[in-house]
Structure 1
Amino acid sequence: MTSAFHPTTDPAVLVLEDGSRYAGRAYGARGTTLGEVVFSTGMTGYQETLTDPSYAGQIVLQTAPHIGNTGMNGEDPESRRIWVAGYIVRDPSRVVSNWRADESLDDALVRDGIVGISGIDTRAVTRRIRSEGSMRGGVFSGADAALDADEQLRRVQEAPQMAGQNLSAAVSVAAAEVTPATGERIGNLAVLDLGVKQATIDNLAARGFDVHVLPQTVTFADIQAIDPVAVFYSNGPGDPAASGDHVGLLREVLDARLPFFGICFGNQLLGRALGFGTYKLPFGHRGINQPVLDKATGRVEITAHNHGFAVDAPLEGTVDSPNGYGRVEVSHVGLNDNVVEGLRALDIPAFSVQYHPEAAAGPHDANYLFDRFRDLVVSDLDTRAPRALDHREGGK
């Protein structure tokens, strides 16, 4: 496909809650959008970013200056729609020239009603967020760009903060969906959909799981009903401190000693289930070039991130779970700012990472974690089999 994007002369303005204003041109749908302004450092993979449900409620700024040259295609979406609240780019590509493209990025933004802005100094906005921290913002485009500046700022400052928000209901499936195993079958896997990505489902199915993607409202009885060999918590948007029901559900999973793997939001919820706190990062980690140390191997991995909250746990040594789940250690550490990037329980079959091992847009340094999960489940099944046999034979 070869398609042209025609730069617009329609005005647009980005307004931050501290009163900063950046004038540019309308991009995507026209109107007003409000949300938390964050930046993503990926040089590629914008389609995967836009369709990642973890970005719900956020206006995403791309630090890469030239966006849109590969267009959008029907094979790479991570979910059923674009989830970002708004989009900020410097220079939209005038030509879509990738053979896989079905439409331009601009057309996709218009189709899904995503209000964006182009033609502003994205480096200046990024530096401000790095200095002052993530903040609420608004993009006003088309006729809304002419609204009174005080009125625009009022709307931004009255928008909800990300802290305290539970957004899982907005992104989760309404009913269970099943993807059959494509590798040698192990059993049913219960995936709590807090904003799961298609690449995650595909990776789990390839490891031999029949992947049951469940609504975020399910109970432990609902999980037990599918006779799962393990439970998985996905990535997702919002504040983990506002997801008490999901933490309570996870504690029932841990009490039952079902193997557990969590990624991103799932890592934060495991931390809280184990008894640790979580906190909001100044500006978060977003992009596909984040260095992480695997403490077990000493290997540095370049990983894909999208999180604004983190687990508060000791980086060194082994500690006892405050909630009584035995010994726990921090397994992975972010090398840019020493943030907890993974947890491993030593006395129950549970671990998690704060990043995205599926990384559809790359890099694939962390893809081995799906194999580690498979091995954990297989090992657990092997140890459970003799106990089940003893029970059937009356303990003989």
Structure 2
Amino acid sequence: MTDDLEALFGRPATGPLAGIVVADLSRVLAGPYATMLLADMGALVIKVEGPRGDDTRTWVPPERDGEGTYYLSVNRNKYSIALDFAEPEQLAIVHRIVERADVLVENFKPGGLQRFGLDFETLRARHPRLVYASITGFGTAGGIDLPGYDLLAQAVSGLMDVTGSPDGGPTKAGVALVDVITGLHATAGILAALNARHATRRGDRIEVNLLSSILSGMVNQTSAFVAGDVVPRRMGNAHPSLAPYEPFPTADRDLVLAVGNDAQFARLCEVLGMPQLADDAQYATMGARNRHRDALRDLLTDRLRTRGADEWFELLRAAGVPSGPILGVDGGVRFAESLGLDPVAPAGRGARVIPTVRHPIGYASGEVDYSQAPPHFDGDRERVLAWLDR
């Protein structure tokens, strides 16, 4: 079977999920990010798009050869077929894809797939081994009518309220962080359900939503309220529980210090030529540093201003003190390259090769395959139909 798939789709049937078929009925970010990770792991992912295609195809700028880089970021290693669920003959093809699938991923409005017979209850009766993953904005109870946009989830979760300058307004994260975290949670749930299926021989339903995902993803900030009855406040780039843990000005530009324990603070003081601070009762422990963070910030700033950020970074790095310059995205990619992390992975072959960001997990058993570029709209219709006829 895997040899047939490789011959038909032209992609090696390798990886920890080789042999798993995913019907991807999702669009935009959270769902497509999850299904791309599954595809990178070796699953055969059929991307079922509506007549207008995934919205992100047209989210420009930026773009590459007329395609939105947003779309390109989360759709490699998939195969696209466009189908109109409102047309009976095309809906029948969707059902044939689902019949062959181990996993279905969807982010339709809750209840939106019921009229097409693609809801969990209907499919569970027909395909008891199917792992069915639903992604919503705010669940299927009181939030069923709320549209699932990342920005809304950032707003109502408290994420925006704890992000930004203390004397400024709430600020969204610079990336659709809620969608990405939700996609990761969906991936984890799918993998767990696939693992359980080996024993039970039955599938399961995975439900994730943006709000629950970010409340979990805000970890210590959410816990501050839930467990400590403390409402976190905006602190700019400072940390509520760690100091020094923020950017500091140097002779030329800012440098981040990320001191996580007392031993690191002692090493920082040695590098700065201020060893006495590590023995000072006001700064010797993390709790004390937090109580006196303003005075400590002034002392460290005065010393850090005597040299440039790059020079301090090299000295602190050599001493094992967590620190780093603030880089742009271009600098972040180049920094990863300098560390040998190879962050850019060309996806595709022949005339269509798209630079993409490398899959974040390494496997001792082998490399992730990147032989399939993000698909053109409906670009794999004939291959998918031929696969269904086998």
Q: TM-score range by the shorter chain?
A: under 0.3
Structure having the higher helix fraction is: 2
Structure having the higher strand fraction is: 1
Instruction: Give the number of the structure with larger relative contact order, counting CA–CA contacts within 8 Å between residues 6 or more apart.
Output: 2
Rg (Cα) greater in structure: 2
Q: TM-score, normalised by structure 1?
A: 0.21
Q: TM-score, normalised by structure 2?
A: 0.21
